[in-house]
Amino acid sequence: MKTLTLAGTKKGTISIQNIDEPYGAGSNSVASIAISLSGGEPDWKVHLPYENLDDVIESLKELQSKK
Protein backbone atom coordinates (compact mmCIF):
# COMPACT_ATOMS: atom_id res chain seq x y z
CA MET A 1 0.00 0.00 0.00
CA LYS A 2 1.10 3.54 -0.70
CA THR A 3 -0.19 6.40 1.42
CA LEU A 4 -0.10 10.04 0.32
CA THR A 5 -0.96 13.23 2.19
CA LEU A 6 -4.32 14.68 1.13
CA ALA A 7 -3.75 18.32 0.18
CA GLY A 8 -5.92 20.87 1.96
CA THR A 9 -6.34 18.78 5.13
CA LYS A 10 -4.42 18.51 8.40
CA LYS A 11 -4.41 14.71 8.66
CA GLY A 12 -6.12 13.49 5.49
CA THR A 13 -4.69 10.66 3.41
CA ILE A 14 -4.99 9.01 0.02
CA SER A 15 -4.31 5.26 0.19
CA ILE A 16 -3.62 3.25 -2.96
CA GLN A 17 -3.43 -0.53 -2.99
CA ASN A 18 -4.17 -3.71 -4.90
CA ILE A 19 -7.15 -5.81 -3.85
CA ASP A 20 -7.33 -9.42 -5.04
CA GLU A 21 -10.76 -10.94 -5.64
CA PRO A 22 -12.66 -7.92 -4.24
CA TYR A 23 -16.07 -9.28 -5.23
CA GLY A 24 -15.53 -12.91 -4.29
CA ALA A 25 -13.61 -15.91 -5.57
CA GLY A 26 -12.64 -15.59 -9.21
CA SER A 27 -13.26 -11.84 -9.51
CA ASN A 28 -10.49 -9.76 -11.07
CA SER A 29 -8.06 -7.72 -8.98
CA VAL A 30 -8.60 -3.97 -8.78
CA ALA A 31 -6.64 -0.88 -7.85
CA SER A 32 -8.28 0.63 -4.77
CA ILE A 33 -8.05 4.34 -3.94
CA ALA A 34 -9.33 5.39 -0.53
CA ILE A 35 -9.66 8.95 0.78
CA SER A 36 -9.70 9.75 4.49
CA LEU A 37 -10.28 13.33 5.59
CA SER A 38 -9.04 12.64 9.13
CA GLY A 39 -6.38 9.97 8.51
CA GLY A 40 -8.64 7.26 9.97
CA GLU A 41 -11.23 5.11 8.25
CA PRO A 42 -11.87 6.00 4.59
CA ASP A 43 -14.63 8.46 3.77
CA TRP A 44 -14.61 7.42 0.07
CA LYS A 45 -13.32 4.47 -1.93
CA VAL A 46 -13.11 3.66 -5.60
CA HIS A 47 -12.17 0.33 -7.15
CA LEU A 48 -10.66 0.61 -10.62
CA PRO A 49 -10.35 -2.52 -12.76
CA TYR A 50 -6.79 -2.77 -14.05
CA GLU A 51 -8.22 -2.96 -17.57
CA ASN A 52 -9.40 0.67 -17.16
CA LEU A 53 -6.37 2.04 -15.35
CA ASP A 54 -4.45 3.39 -18.37
CA ASP A 55 -7.51 5.29 -19.63
CA VAL A 56 -8.23 6.71 -16.16
CA ILE A 57 -4.61 7.86 -15.77
CA GLU A 58 -4.70 9.47 -19.22
CA SER A 59 -7.95 11.26 -18.38
CA LEU A 60 -6.51 12.55 -15.09
CA LYS A 61 -3.42 13.85 -16.87
CA GLU A 62 -5.63 15.65 -19.41
CA LEU A 63 -7.64 17.17 -16.57
CA GLN A 64 -4.46 18.30 -14.81
CA SER A 65 -3.08 19.92 -17.97
CA LYS A 66 -6.21 22.10 -18.22
CA LYS A 67 -5.81 23.42 -14.68
d(CA 9, CA 60): 21
pTM: 0.87
Answer yes or no: are the C-beta atoms of 1 and 16 closer than 8 Å.
yes
Q: For 1-67, list the strands marked E by DSSP.
A: 2-5, 13-19, 30-36, 44-49
pLDDT of residue 42: 97
Which 8-state DSSP code applies to residue 29?
P
pLDDT of residue 67: 86
Q: What is the mean pLDDT of residues 52-65?
A: 97
pLDDT at 45 over 90: yes
The confidence band for 55, taking pLDDT boundaries of 50, 70 and 90, is very high
Domain that residue 42 falls in: 2-65
How many domains, in total, are found in the chain?
1
- As a whole number, the mean pLDDT across the chain is 97
